């Protein structure tokens, strides 16, 4: 399996994100999604990592299953929430033994019920240091085109991101809906002397109420023009069609602007992503 830093250096990457299933039915859905998306020859896929212990175990199991049972290159999310350094070292050893070569080092969100375990880490930069020190992984970090919701200012957000990216190999952004937000982010990092690859994250709208909630939580702006465009449709298939059209337009503009790739937040479903692929004329196996 390849290191993501090498893949980006060789050309544009196209990748997907999944989350660990919480039930047998969800497991079947994800298995079908992975099978359907494998034909698109993704450069890599990423697996999210929750604040709870059981979710963390499922992340490791899913990452290792993908590595062993498919041709797909997995990247494991890892957060500093509720972790001792000894636990992180054990997880990294386990991934290295399974020939998993890519890690996304994140700050992570504390459990909503306030049940987070004590942690040896405060910020993503602390976790990043330990993952990099192991010397066994290509390491990415998160970026927020419209500023992290907990950042005190745009200036400080960009300064901290630049600090992370000086050491990491690449960044993947939170989802957003307007290409200008991404272009401005890249320009602001360049002004700080950082030109590491920043891969834009794409979230096709497939459920109006769900995407609005997710945008609010992530700090992503939900533009009025998009709300108006969605207000004309109610049928789920029509909503997905509008979402695919909007995402296709965004992807085309990002590629034209020089983005080093695209990272699709699939919500463990394949239809919208496959339709965007077809619209963009991206290669499909078979």
Predicted local confidence at residue 119, as pLDDT: 80
Per-residue confidence (pLDDT) for residue 109, from 0 to 100: 66
Question: Which of 142 and 118 is assigned the larger pLDDT?
Answer: 142
The CA distance from 68 to 45, in Å, is 14
- CA–CA gap between residue 197 and residue 10 (Å, rounded): 12
Which token pair is 257?
């602007």
50: which 2 tokens? 């929750």
Residue 159: the pLDDT is 96
Residues labelled catalytic: 17
Quick one: what percent of the chain has pLDDT higher than 70?
94
How confident is the model at residue 56, as a pLDDT? 76
Give the pLDDT of residue 55. 66
Q: What is the mean pLDDT of the chain?
A: 91
182-199 residue pLDDT tens: 999 999 999 999 999 999
> Among 79-83, 129-133, 164-168, 241-245, which stretch is predicted with the lowest mean pLDDT?
79-83
Across 48-52, 149-153, 251-255, least confident range: 48-52
Is pLDDT of 112 > 60? no
Per-residue pLDDT, 78: 93
Which are the contacts of 12, defined by CB distance < 8 A and separation ≥ 6? Answer: 255, 259, 260, 261, 262
Q: Which of 207, 279, 202, 269 is nearest to 238 (CA)?
A: 207
**CB of 210 closer than 8 Å to CB of 175:** no
* pLDDT-derived band at 54, boundaries 50, 70, 90: low
> What does the pLDDT read at residue 129?
94
* Closest C-alpha to 146, from 102, 188, 205: 188
Neighbours of 113 (CB within 10 A): 8
- Is 53 within 8 Å of 100 (Cβ atoms)? no
pLDDT exceeds 70 at position 57: yes
Tell whether the model's pLDDT for residue 24 goes beyond 90.
Answer: no
pLDDT above 90 coverage of the chain, percent: 73
Which uninterrupted H or E stretch holds 190? helix 179-191
Of 8-12, 109-113, 187-191, 210-214, where does mean pLDDT reach its minimum?
Answer: 109-113
The answer to whether residues 43 and 283 touch, using CB atoms and an 8 Å cutoff, is no
Taking the whole predicted model, whether its pTM rises above 0.85 is answered as yes
Q: Tell me, rounded to whole angstroms, the distance of Cα 92 from its chain centroid.
A: 19
Domains of the chain: 4-280 (3.20.20.220)
* Spatial CA neighbour of 255 closest among 226, 279, 221: 279
Q: What is the pLDDT of residue 219?
A: 76
How many residues in total does the chain contain? 286
Q: Is the pLDDT of residue 216 over 80?
A: no
Which residue from 127, 201, 189, 122 is spatially nearest to 158, judged by alpha carbons?
Answer: 189
Residue 13's beta-bridge partner residues?
261
Return the HEC string of the chain: CCCHHHHHHHCCEEEEEECCCCCHHHHHHHHHHHHHHHCCCCCEEEECCCCCHHHHHHHHHHHHHHHHHCCCCEEEEEECCCCCHHHHHHHHHHHHHCCCCEEEEECCCCCCCCCCCCCCCCCHHHHHHHHHHHCCCEEEEEECCCCCCCCCCHHHHHHHHHHHHHHCCEEEEEECCCHHHHHHHHHHHHHCCCCCCEEEEECCCCCHHHHHHHHHHHCCCCCHHHHHHHCCCCCHHHHHHHHHHHHHHHHHHHHHCCCCEEEEECCCCCHHHHHHHHHHCCCCCC
């Amino acid at each position: 399996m390849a290191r993501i830093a090498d893949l980006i250096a060789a050309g544009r990457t196209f990748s997907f994100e999944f989350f660990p299933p919480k039930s047998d039915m969800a497991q079947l859905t994800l298995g079908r999604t992975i099978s359907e998306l494998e034909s698109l020859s993704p450069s890599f896929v990423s697996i999210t990592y929750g604040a709870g212990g059981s979710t963390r175990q499922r992340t490791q199991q899913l990452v290792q299953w993908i590595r062993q049972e498919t041709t797909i290159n997995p990247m494991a999310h890892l957060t500093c929430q509720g972790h001792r350094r000894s636990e992180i070292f054990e997880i990294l050893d386990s991934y290295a033994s399974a020939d998993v070569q890519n890690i996304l080092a994140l700050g992570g969100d504390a459990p909503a019920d306030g049940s987070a375990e004590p942690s040896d880490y405060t910020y993503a930069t602390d976790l990043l240091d330990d993952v990099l020190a192991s010397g066994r992984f290509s390491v990415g970090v998160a970026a927020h085109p419209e500023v992290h919701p907990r950042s005190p200012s745009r200036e400080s957000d960009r300064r901290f991101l630049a600090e992370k990216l000086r050491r990491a190999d690449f960044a993947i952004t939170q989802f957003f809906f307007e290409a200008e937000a991404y272009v401005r982010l890249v320009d602001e990092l360049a002004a700080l002397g950082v030109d590491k690859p920043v891969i834009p994250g794409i979230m096709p709208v497939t459920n109006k109420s769900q995407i609005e909630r997710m945008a609010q939580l992530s700090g992503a702006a939900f533009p009025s023009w998009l709300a108006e465009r969605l207000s004309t449709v109610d049928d789920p298939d029509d909503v997905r069609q509008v979402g695919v059209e909007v995402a296709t337009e965004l992807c085309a503009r990002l590629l034209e602007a020089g983005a080093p790739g695209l990272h699709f937040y699939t919500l463990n479903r394949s239809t919208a992503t496959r339709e965007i692929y077809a619209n963009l004329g991206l290669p499909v196996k078979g």
